[in-house]
Structure 1
Amino acid sequence: MAFIFAATLLTLTPGLDTALVFRTASIEGPGQAVRAALGINVGCFLWGAAVAFGLGAIVAVSELAYNVLKYCGAAYLCWLGLNMVLSPRCSIGLVDVHPVKRENWFLKGVLGNALNPKVGVFYASFLPQFIPQGSPLVVWTFGLVAIHVLIGSAWSLTLIAATRPLGRFLRKAHVIQWLDRTTGMVLLLFAARLAYSQR
């Protein structure tokens, strides 16, 4: 119960995952947003595996490993953000004569989490506190990550459902451009915070 409470607070705290899911649901519809959420979940499981098999501990204690992953993650977020700010779309490509290629939000969800060392450090320092002494580490780690993923999925579905009543408004050209640019700025802020963050 303590872990569920802590993981729920973590999930509800506005962050990169929330921004990606909300923006994708608003502009490209629930299908793409679900793909982004699934990618985020896969990223969580990748970090869970890293913690279970000891790689998370390396990121937690190695300054070099942490910094390499940190700057890769910041560069990736910066690239995503700049694309949205400098080239916002006017439509989602569903009714265009020349359809716009859809983004792979599943992959972006995976990379957004997998390249964020703060997720790894959080898992490496947070999950072991809830594993009973003498219990199988791998089983418990994946069990706790699964709980976190379920909570995150419920939150993502709530965000996606909240955008449905506003669907027609959120798909107007000026709204799409505003959402793209706003999300891009949020991603750039996260990139800067990650690049200058300390463990």
Structure 2
Amino acid sequence: MIPLDVALAFFGAAVVLALIPGPDILFVLSQSALYGARAGVCTTLGLASGLVVHTSAVALGVAVIFQTSAVAFTLLKTAGAAYLLYLAWLSFRAGAVLAGTGKVDFLGFGALYRRGIIMNVTNPKVTLFFLAFLPQFCDPARGSVAAQVGMLGALFMLATLIVFSSVAVAGGAVAARFNRSQKAQILLHRCAGVIFVGLALLLLFSHR
């Protein structure tokens, strides 16, 4: 078991790290600005679910593969970048549909949840971050390291849910204001497309 003081210190650090502007926050903000706060929360749940994969990878030692294999790292980040470019294309296309006086159908909360999972899982840098960060709070003298990693991963997920859900609510306020105007909706979709392209490039040119 992890002592309470260690758990609290880790949780505080996780909250601070979650507050740092990064790809995941931008992703949540863009989805909630487009579709509302509940959409942002669904995306957040997807991102948090993806952290289960990264936590398991660290606990099982799979993360070492991405740390030592340039091929594995490159393949996964390329897949992630390709998915982000696909989302960018969908956003630009939605903007074009709106510009043609059409109406863009809401994707559904399930689709946004899956987007969050894929967005998170296909970023190998999250696995490497967990590999470097989580073990610092583990102690073999306290028992199974894998179990401790699992507990720390759960605390990190909780911190992510709290911070990102707050971001989703803020983004939802943007949606409530701008979605009254078709021109504003077009702008939001195009901005989301630009964000996705930027995130894809950041991931594609990232290093281990």
Output the TM-score relative to the length of structure 2.
0.84
- Counterpart of 1:14 in structure 2: which amino acid? P
Of residues 34, 50, 66, the one that matches 2:41 is: 34
Aligned to 2:195: 186
- Corresponding pairs, count: 195
Contact 1:169 1:175 in 2 (8 A): no
Of residues 52, 62, 67, the one that matches 2:59 is: 52
Percent identical among aligned pairs is: 27
Please list every run of at least 4 consecutive aligned residues from structure 1 whose deviation after the TM superposition is greater than 3 angstroms. Answer: 96-99, 163-168
How far has the Cα of 1:97 moved from its partner?
9.6
Within the alignment, does 1:66 sit opposite 2:73 as a pair? Answer: yes
Within the alignment, does 1:102 sit opposite 2:110 as a pair? Answer: no
How far has the Cα of 1:126 moved from its partner?
1.3
Within the alignment, does 1:146 sit opposite 2:154 as a pair? Answer: yes
CA distance in 2, matches of 1:166, 1:107: 23
How far has the Cα of 1:164 moved from its partner?
4.8
Contact 1:59 1:66 in 2 (8 A): yes
What are the within-5 Å matches in structure 2 for residues 1-199 of structure 1?
1-88=8-95, 90=98, 100-103=105-108, 104-134=111-141, 135-171=143-179, 172-199=181-208
Output the TM-score relative to the length of structure 1.
0.87
Cα RMSD over matched residues? Answer: 2.3
Contact 1:78 1:191 in 2 (8 A): yes
Which ranges of structure 2 fall in alignment gaps of 5 or more residues? 1-7
